[in-house]
Amino acid sequence: MTLAALRTYSRVIGTGSALPGNAVSNDELARDLATRGVETSDQWIVERTGIRQRYIAAPGSTTADLGVRAAQAALQAAGRSGKDIDLIIVATSTPDQIFPSTACLIQAQLGANGSTAFDVQAVCSGFVYGLVIADAMIRSGTNARALVIGAELFSRILDWSDRGTCVLFGDGAGAVVLEASSEPGILASELKADGSHAGVLCTAGRVSQGKVEGHPYLTMDGPAVFKLAVNVLGASAIKVLQQAGLEVSQLDWLIPHQANVRILNAIAKRVGVPEEKMVATVDRHGNTSAASVPLALDVAVRDGRIKSGQHVMLQGVGGGFTWGSALLRW
């Protein structure tokens, strides 16, 4: 049977991820920040965030480089090549250029020339946005096999004198291969945004006439982000489960955006999911924005926690203010 005859649903058939260089521990970061006049410690970071390390890309590394590595790993897991892909969606807030898109740069390196390729900018919700868009395009019959990639170099937009933000973020990429199927893989989804909260998490800088105008670094109202994230993701998870006709008890794994262990635990409590059913990798990756959900997904797939037939909820929340959920049957 051809893929054209299967374009009713889509399923994830491979996952992959990529991290730059070596892990930077809290102690190492604290020593570096001390040279900049910023005081912090491993204890301070762990108690407030649960983060113990993160990965920081070296100068010269690009978002596309990380995206290509994650995509290649996902393609290998799926038993596919770049030539098999007819859609590439890259979720990123840190593109390598104003244009062309990072998706086009990745496409060229994968040999997927001629495929549809574009970027999605929904910050930390970007991967979930991209996944739902790709699912819709496959369901419509427009495309048959997609790469959805979340890739970020957030270290490039951090103010390293702001202890409240610079300890939180890391660099990385994650990817999935999504393919047309006769059986449903993505059971239900929801994408939302509320631009009235744009100021609580933003990078307001812009390029004009060859110069950067506005504040070029990330700023965040932490308490506001915490409250919004827990409220919107808790409600979104319940709504998407109801759309799929499932009870919370039937959810095998919850994978929220990996922002902060306190936020993760609060979301799990709000939804009614035991913490042992939540995948958390923020301790080892930090907050990698659009890369965080596919990174965590890949970890849980490769260590064997996620198994065929299980129900997995992916959730993103970030600047915009944006959020979204996608419920998958693995």
Question: Of the candidates 124, 157, 313, 151, which has an alpha carbon nearest to the alpha carbon of residue 228?
Answer: 124
Which of 26, 143, 260, 287 is flagged as catalytic? 287
Answer yes or no: 287 catalytic: yes
Question: Of the candidates 329, 291, 277, which has an alpha carbon nearest to the alpha carbon of residue 174?
Answer: 291
Residue type, 116: T
Question: Of the candidates 124, 126, 106, which has an alpha carbon nearest to the alpha carbon of residue 116?
Answer: 106
Phi/psi-derived region of residue 101, left when phi > 0, alpha when psi is between -120 and 50, beta in every other case = beta
Which of 26, 104, 124, 197 is flagged as catalytic? 124
Contact 118, 79 (CB under 8 A): no
CB atoms within 10 A of CB 213: 11
Residue type, 98: I
Identify the residue whose tokens are 């930077």.
24
Answer yes or no: 124 catalytic: yes
Question: Of the candidates 70, 113, 89, 301, which has an alpha carbon nearest to the alpha carbon of residue 178?
Answer: 89
Task: List the structure tokens of 190.
Answer: 């929801």
Answer yes or no: 285 catalytic: no
Identify the residue whose tokens are 């790709």.
134
Which of 26, 257, 260, 285 is flagged as catalytic? 257
Question: Of the candidates 84, 52, 82, which has an alpha carbon nearest to the alpha carbon of residue 67?
Answer: 82
- Residue 55, strand partner residues: 23
- Residue 172, strand partner residues: 152
Active site residues: 124, 257, 287
